[in-house]
Structure 1
């Protein structure tokens, strides 16, 4: 509570509450998405490869995040460029989720459902870009702010949203229909929409343009149209990405995700169709992963910020590969020979793969916040997020190809152990070009010093 009180004094209680709610809902989307996963399998009768393809396709709007970031940085709506876009993002999500919940024509065909789920992700992508920019911007403009503390706090809020979403989703599947679960999420989105009736100026982000009170600025904006403003932001983004301190780690991140074939849908079918595990077990497994992310975020904030980033990522990749290999034990049924029931095995090692993958982004986001040039927070952060999403798409499509080559289907999982071995081996490949990450031996203090110099150079 002491940390929350101190952060409230620095950033303001209303700002802290808003960003916490935004990040909570970002992760709480796991609640309706679990319902949609079972809807694809049970109602629309799609096979694992098709579901992997469709679910990956819904993530396409995430790849365009740099566009949303550039627009948010350069196009002001009534003197503000953060809150209006949060309103727009909420409206898109409310529209699409409401259509899915109320109109049977939307949810009765896999193609139509995929289209509307893609719209929900469009709204989610815009929201993520804006809230990341708000957090990065606030960390620079507030006296007494410490590098990384606000990012760590909102990540805890995001992890808490995942805990609540996954914990409740599994049990909700027993008593509610998928559309009822969507309706619950719609009500939470509505609550967030009401919380956005605030002035961006009250947050003190230093980004609001009040043309009525500033005649010189009004005259300037009359000469400089929206197109040229967006062009300036693209130029700033290009200049920032030309710096090795940014584009080298970005290349490593992209490859470290993209080269691991995703077999999530195949594992989902194996757990539910072959083993008969119910939604509550899968929800608890994801819950364990989110709890692991919470403790990982706390551990990073308390003890790992001074660890050289290159060394930290090597450890993460090795740990990720080892956790992925435990799924071979699970699929081969070796866990039963060891006396470990399926339920407890899923709640153990398998659950931490997701947490490790998410945790890997935290130290890089802290570094990115320090290097990001002022006024381009949304552009730079959205580019990083889009690169990660593009890598995730490649990950998913590689998984579709691998599943097809190994003849994995809803009834035949004989090729799944081989697929897991291939994926786990691919998780180690990025260590070969770990040199793209900043040199080892740098303390957190040295990194911050170099970040300040880099920002001056920009």
Structure 2
């Protein structure tokens, strides 16, 4: 993608690869674990997943920890090792302990915490590589990240379904436990010199009376934290990143029918775990295609135009699910499996393309010293919208009477979820008009 290979890029790729494995092997096995071992219905499973995903909504906290509390003078390597070990412990215990809702929620949340925290750590490395680069280079870096994630998802997707069908969800979760350990081994590839951050803070200029960011608080760590909070606040207020992030939140926070569709596929249409794994496999292909299309054709397209077109295309694609839940596809001679594979690829590819522009902007505006924190804050907006979407989808499924074996109102669920994605369009004017020649300002501190 036009970038010079380096150990740091390899470490970034491995971390995103592990995220991709979690998205396929981890997510699929957890879904079957909730369905078959915990005996949940769609609303309960969606609510459970939303709670377990809370660690992805508080990512700025991890950024503050890594930026202000280095371990042995380093902000990247030690935390990546801790995350790898924590993920191994969480998925390992989830696979061997009895399937109780309380312990399952605890270890599923710990597993998400390990992956989310490592995401913040590695994103700090990405932002450091992006600083000072042009839009095209920053776009290539983001393409490497999300392309690696897609490869991780692609390489483990079908295997996860095959494994669940052969041995069950819990042994498959045991296999998932070993992938976070890869991050421990690759942490040494990150070039990071040990520094005395406490000494650096004490050596700073005396606080200015007129600068709230430099008020003395009597402790070097607290002083650094206050300074980063002040810098982070000003960076977030930049309209070039705040307004697109707000629009994406509104766009992605609408109710989702994904949780109910998993039960519809398995209990109503009778799809096997292998075939559900095949869906995950093609979703990985669609992610790679989305990254390629963005990196090749769309990374220089003005944001407002890109978001508008993708929203309309996404709505049109969403309506195709009505054909499946009503059985019209079979009347047209289209097999359920063929229809689902095509529809899933289309929706996944569009979703990946839509996410890329905001990631490029987020990486480019991050100021030095709080890069992990700011990038994590911006990504948490997207993650929070996903949690809201799952909770709204669970509430809507409950309201419509959809259960593990009752799908009479799936048509209404699809219709409401699809039309809700049009609601943010009046707010599209909030997205700034940024072209490839528009300079994105940086924050001085």
Which residue is equivalent to 1:229?
224
Q: Which of these residues, 243, 247, 252, is aligned with residue 242 of structure 2?
A: 247
Which residue is equivalent to 1:210?
195
Which residue is equivalent to 2:266?
272
Take 2:65 and 2:159, find their aligned partners in 1: how far apart are those partners?
A: 36
Contiguous gaps of at least 5 residues in structure 2: 205-217
Q: CA deviation at 1:272?
A: 0.5
Which residue is equivalent to 2:77?
83
Which residue is equivalent to 1:170?
161
Q: TM-score if structure 1 supplies the norm length? A: 0.89
Structure 1 pair 199/164, CA: closer, same or farther in 2 (3 Å)?
closer
Which residue is equivalent to 1:16?
9
Take 1:193 and 1:217, find their aligned partners in 2: how far apart are those partners?
A: 28
Q: CA deviation at 1:244?
A: 1.8
Q: Which of these residues, 330, 333, 336, is aligned with residue 336 of structure 1?
A: 330
Structure 1 pair 216/110, CA: closer, same or farther in 2 (3 Å)?
closer
Tell me if structure 1 keeps the 8 A contact 2:239–2:432. Answer: no
Q: Which of these residues, 105, 109, 112, is aligned with residue 114 of structure 1?
A: 105
Contiguous gaps of at least 5 residues in structure 1: 202-207
Which residue is equivalent to 1:434?
428
Tell me if structure 1 keeps the 8 A contact 2:130–2:138. Answer: yes
Alignment size in residue pairs: 432
Q: Which of these residues, 414, 429, 435, is aligned with residue 443 of structure 1?
A: 435
Which residue is equivalent to 1:205?
none
Which residue is equivalent to 2:207?
none
Tell me if structure 2 keeps the 8 A contact 1:285–1:348. Answer: no
- Write the deviation string for residues 182-236 of structure 1: whole angstroms up to 9, x where unpaired: 22222222233222245642xxxxxx4523xx99648639x85222212211111
Structure 1 pair 145/328, CA: closer, same or farther in 2 (3 Å)?
closer
Q: CA deviation at 1:134?
A: 0.8
Which residue is equivalent to 1:390?
384
Which residue is equivalent to 2:94?
100
CA RMSD of aligned residues (A): 2.3
Are 1:347 and 2:341 an aligned pair?
Answer: yes
Which residue is equivalent to 1:407?
401
* Matched ranges for 1:120-139 at <5 A: 120-139=111-130
Which residue is equivalent to 2:25?
31
Tell me if structure 2 keeps the 8 A contact 1:71–1:230. Answer: no
* Matched ranges for 1:340-379 at <5 A: 340-379=334-373
Take 2:202 and 2:61, find their aligned partners in 1: how far apart are those partners?
A: 27
Tell me if structure 1 keeps the 8 A contact 2:41–2:404. Answer: yes
Which residue is equivalent to 1:204?
none
Tell me if structure 2 keeps the 8 A contact 1:75–1:230. Answer: no
Structure 1 pair 58/215, CA: closer, same or farther in 2 (3 Å)?
closer
Take 2:198 and 2:321, find their aligned partners in 1: how far apart are those partners?
A: 64
Q: Which of these residues, 236, 251, 259, is aligned with residue 256 of structure 1?
A: 251
Tell me if structure 1 keeps the 8 A contact 2:235–2:367. Answer: yes
Q: TM-score if structure 2 supplies the norm length? A: 0.91
Q: CA deviation at 1:288?
A: 1.7
